[in-house]
A and B are shown apart, each in its own frame.
Chain A
């Protein structure tokens, strides 16, 4: 067999905590061959990023505490572990033989230097050439990553680019010296799904073109299924599984790998199962009927010369929601989905349109009228669960106080009963009653989201609006929360409006899906229909961009 370009054996990385060193990566070994893609997958904190940085010796303040990293090339073998962090020899490898791309293109590029300056710099560091030649080379590398009009783009700053373009520039920089190895550390995590698909395709094409080996770090099994030749699964600093992609997906050995695959395949949009078949019989009158909702953000700047910047966030949005139904709202970031639900609960003021809500006693209210929710006591019927479980709970209140807040404000129950009800609710969402006296900082993300749900159940709700309620959670916890929401629906007869950007999750949870794009609701239909026969190009692109779950059936990258 051919000699691997990179040979890692028994690598350990540690961080000094006060006086002793704690290892966060324990004895990791793998080989990397020319032209292959090795995906390193694991949940946050599994040590995958630290491992990648150790390969380039940029893992400060951590340091390598054991093992060996050998870089093989035409001129022989270099032992990276034997070099010093800032050795001349190590610096010669960084950027030239190993390139790296990071997660956040915005913060990974300098805000005060042009893209060109940053790329040319890499070239000049490693190649002996004139400034003009380096600039020409930089333009070439921008062209390679398909940045339009590279001659002009080279003099732009990173903040003048969109997220996808920034990441392309970042890749151009990493590949400026045509390295043998590219390390990509979650390069698509911060991007929208359609942009992610473009970047993945681009990486694959460049890899073939330049014949480089790629180490791709991600937490998303879908992405792994799309691009990996081989997969390394990391869990708590250890490599629990390493093997060819097909084998890992079809015959996982480690329990943790099985768990990861199970959690992701559950949300595959290619699955036939969905709730569409059991759509509840439509009541004569819908629960909520939104008509031509319009909302514009205005920002006034300047004191002497006032000028108003306008952003038309919602354009003529109309939809209906029936009782007992789950409506999903999907779209990329900035499409207006969160704005829409915030307008519905009165956190934002709509400019025009109506949202007629039929309350429990059969009366109709327009939610868009200022103060409608509180005035008619509808805030007891319509509840919201927020995206970020860390900022949606007041850190200065105990769990009991948080859950009881709506009950206290309602003022119907005596103190003692409120306490009992809070305890009951906490149990209902799967947390022990003993936790009532704790503060939110003592809970994990999933537990906090459960507390949020308990708060929304405190006063008999009929409609729960979940704004990206599971987006901040890891895969397995996400399905637990979704199951909880299903259970509550059956028990309490709830309806949900579920906002999300992950089509798989939305399809799994919702009966119908509304697709939003640039403030417009472009399409709304049964979940299965939207996913299988989208009628609008935008929806089609959105669905085509969702990664698959099986390396045998790649959806984005044509299999060789």
Chain B
């Protein structure tokens, strides 16, 4: 759209031969309003925003939403397949009633291969209740709860909506807890990268000269080295006796150590292009000092870009964490992340027996896709004025 088309021309003094004004914006919208309007048009991005909102909601309330204790080992049910889930049940007088339930397992032993396998038992209905009193959990490490969103009655029954793993742990609950670690590591990593990127990129762009040159070389260097081996190298060097928390932070830090470069590059180039904008020069001539120029005139112009770039960088973080954990160099069991869960699927035999172990993979794919769509939408909407390039 050309600039001439989207403006209201109310000043007839300028336009003796003014055309009828095109459908006009009122001209009083703030930047945020314009960005939101442009973003809303991006359907995929809107859907992604909802999906990601749900995922982060799940991660935040994992304790309430997970039906089982993710660490509870159940030797009777190793590699149990996902249970058949039904919403309706025949009640006593023969009609259908809304009573969500799953089918219990029947164990069959294959005489030839001498392998146990679980098959659904249509006679064994396990009813699902809302907020039943089951196991105790520390919520956010603050207080104890013993009710969870869904669960089954009785200690003897099990609920494996997504099947169980090698030790008979509930995959769904592990997935929910894993979401917390995987999704938060992406966010934490991006926050650290963002801090590094904004500070280093800003310094580079603002001071220029030798400082800029040295920083640019370092960025170029980091970007020209394959990241995975470096990450692996650093991760492998972490002391084995560190606690899960220490490990978590160390891994986040290692990921950010490489992840900041893209953000720094964006910040710097935006900084340089803005520095030469006429309106920044005009502000300088108005008598604005460095701080006011950066804060009032330059920062608003690139926050939206930075948010978009940061969103697009989160998938990289998540992928890196999952890959490292998958290889056994990242987070270690008993910490649960999606990468750690996929480690269980590394072995082809296990995979052939229990293909549901790939469920975490599906969640990774959905998350990454949503992040990318969201980032694309934000990037397209980030500059409603088209005042660059």
Docked CA distance A398–B26 (Å): 13
Given the interface pairs A391-B387, A447-B14, the reply to whether A347 lies near B284 with Cβ below 8 Å is yes
Interface stretch among B15-23, B101-109, B143-151, B244-252? B15-23
| B28 / chain A contacts, CB cutoff of 8 Å | 398, 437-439, 442
Interface flag for A374 (CB, 8 Å): yes
Interface flag for A393 (CB, 8 Å): yes
Docked CA distance A393–B7 (Å): 15
The answer to whether B278 touches A45 (Cβ under 8 A) is: no
The answer to whether A405 touches B11 (Cβ under 8 A) is: no
The answer to whether B27 touches A430 (Cβ under 8 A) is: no
Query: Interface of B with A (CB < 8 Å)?
Result: 3-4, 6-11, 13-17, 19, 24-31, 213, 217, 277-279, 281-288, 292, 297, 300-301, 385, 387
Which of B284, B287, B292, B300 lies in contact with A410, CB distance below 8 A? B287
Docked CA distance A386–B217 (Å): 36
Q: B8, B11, B24: which has the most chain A beta carbons within 10 Å?
A: B11
Count A interface residues, CB 8 Å.
Answer: 50
The answer to whether B11 touches A430 (Cβ under 8 A) is: yes
Q: A259, A347, A398: which has the most chain B beta carbons within 10 Å?
A: A347
* CB-CB nearest in chain A for B209: A300
| B288 / chain A contacts, CB cutoff of 8 Å | 405, 409
The 10 closest A-B pairs by CB, nearest first: A442-B27, A438-B27, A392-B278, A446-B14, A395-B385, A406-B286, A394-B279, A409-B287, A391-B278, A386-B278
The residues in A between 378 and 397 inclusive whose CB is less than 8 angstroms from any CB of B are: 379-380, 383-384, 386-388, 390-396
The answer to whether B387 touches A395 (Cβ under 8 A) is: yes
The answer to whether A447 touches B11 (Cβ under 8 A) is: yes
A-B contact pairs, 5 of them (CB 8 A): A345-B285, A430-B11, A432-B11, A455-B282, A480-B13
* CB-CB nearest in chain A for B292: A409
The residues in A between 355 and 400 inclusive whose CB is less than 8 angstroms from any CB of B are: 373-374, 377, 379-380, 383-384, 386-388, 390-396, 398
Which of B13, B217, B282, B297 lies in contact with A384, CB distance below 8 A? B282
Docked CA distance A307–B274 (Å): 27
Q: A259-B17, A441-B3, A442-B8 are in contact. List 4 more A-B contacts (CB 8 A).
A: A394-B279, A395-B279, A406-B287, A444-B7
Given the interface pairs A383-B285, A386-B281, A395-B385, the reply to whether A441 lies near B6 with Cβ below 8 Å is yes
Docked CA distance A373–B30 (Å): 32
The answer to whether A379 touches B4 (Cβ under 8 A) is: no
Q: How far is the CB of A240 from chain B (nearest CB, A)?
A: 10
Q: Mark A24-35, 1 if CB is under 8 A from B, else 0.
A: 000000000000
The answer to whether A235 touches B281 (Cβ under 8 A) is: no
| A406 / chain B contacts, CB cutoff of 8 Å | 286-287
| B300 / chain A contacts, CB cutoff of 8 Å | 396
| B277 / chain A contacts, CB cutoff of 8 Å | 391
The answer to whether B213 touches A303 (Cβ under 8 A) is: yes
Tally A-B pairs: CB < 8 A: 119
| B283 / chain A contacts, CB cutoff of 8 Å | 394, 405
* CB-CB nearest in chain B for A256: B17
The answer to whether A442 touches B25 (Cβ under 8 A) is: yes
* CB-CB nearest in chain B for A345: B285
The answer to whether B387 touches A390 (Cβ under 8 A) is: yes
| A442 / chain B contacts, CB cutoff of 8 Å | 7-8, 24-28
Q: How far is the CB of B184 from chain A (nearest CB, A)?
A: 32
Query: Interface of A with B (CB < 8 Å)?
Result: 44-45, 235-236, 256, 259, 303, 345, 347, 373-374, 377, 379-380, 383-384, 386-388, 390-396, 398, 405-406, 409-410, 430-432, 435, 437-439, 441-444, 446-447, 450, 452, 455, 476-477, 480
Q: How far is the CB of A243 from chain B (nearest CB, A)?
A: 20
Q: How far is the CB of A266 from chain B (nearest CB, A)?
A: 14
* CB-CB nearest in chain A for B2: A45
* CB-CB nearest in chain A for B298: A394
Docked CA distance A450–B14 (Å): 10
Docked CA distance A146–B282 (Å): 44
| A236 / chain B contacts, CB cutoff of 8 Å | 19
Given the interface pairs A392-B279, A442-B8, A442-B27, the reply to whether A405 lies near B14 with Cβ below 8 Å is no
Given the interface pairs A395-B385, A396-B300, the reply to whether A432 lies near B10 with Cβ below 8 Å is yes
| B286 / chain A contacts, CB cutoff of 8 Å | 379, 405-406, 409, 455
The answer to whether A392 touches B282 (Cβ under 8 A) is: yes
* CB-CB nearest in chain A for B213: A303
Docked CA distance A435–B14 (Å): 15
Q: How far is the CB of B294 from chain A (nearest CB, A)?
A: 13
Q: How far is the CB of A388 from chain B (nearest CB, A)?
A: 6
* CB-CB nearest in chain A for B282: A392
Docked CA distance A395–B30 (Å): 9
Given the interface pairs A390-B387, A391-B387, A438-B27, the reply to whether A347 lies near B285 with Cβ below 8 Å is yes
Q: A392, A439, A446: which has the most chain B beta carbons within 10 Å?
A: A439
* CB-CB nearest in chain B for A390: B3
Which of A374, A377, A439 lies in contact with B27, CB distance below 8 A? A439
Q: How far is the CB of A144 from chain B (nearest CB, A)?
A: 37
| B301 / chain A contacts, CB cutoff of 8 Å | 394-396
The answer to whether A396 touches B285 (Cβ under 8 A) is: no
* CB-CB nearest in chain A for B304: A396
Q: How far is the CB of B382 from chain A (nearest CB, A)?
A: 12
Docked CA distance A61–B356 (Å): 51
The answer to whether B31 touches A396 (Cβ under 8 A) is: yes
Q: How far is the CB of A279 from chain B (nearest CB, A)?
A: 28
| B7 / chain A contacts, CB cutoff of 8 Å | 441-444
The answer to whether B285 touches A384 (Cβ under 8 A) is: yes
| B387 / chain A contacts, CB cutoff of 8 Å | 390-391, 395
Given the interface pairs A441-B385, A442-B7, A455-B282, the reply to whether A235 lies near B26 with Cβ below 8 Å is no
| A383 / chain B contacts, CB cutoff of 8 Å | 285
The answer to whether A431 touches B282 (Cβ under 8 A) is: no
| B31 / chain A contacts, CB cutoff of 8 Å | 395-396
Docked CA distance A478–B293 (Å): 31
* CB-CB nearest in chain A for B301: A396
Docked CA distance A345–B8 (Å): 33
| A386 / chain B contacts, CB cutoff of 8 Å | 278, 281-282
The answer to whether A444 touches B282 (Cβ under 8 A) is: no
Which of B14, B16, B287, B292 lies in contact with A444, CB distance below 8 A? B14
The answer to whether B13 touches A430 (Cβ under 8 A) is: yes
Q: How far is the CB of B14 from chain A (nearest CB, A)?
A: 4
The answer to whether A431 touches B285 (Cβ under 8 A) is: no
Q: How far is the CB of B29 from chain A (nearest CB, A)?
A: 7
The answer to whether A379 touches B287 (Cβ under 8 A) is: yes
Q: A383, A430, A432, A443: which has the most chain B beta carbons within 10 Å?
A: A443
Q: How far is the CB of A43 from chain B (nearest CB, A)?
A: 8
Docked CA distance A557–B13 (Å): 36
Q: A388, A393, A430, A438: which has the most chain B beta carbons within 10 Å?
A: A438
* CB-CB nearest in chain B for A404: B286
| A396 / chain B contacts, CB cutoff of 8 Å | 30-31, 300-301, 385
Q: How far is the CB of B97 from chain A (nearest CB, A)?
A: 50
Docked CA distance A391–B278 (Å): 6
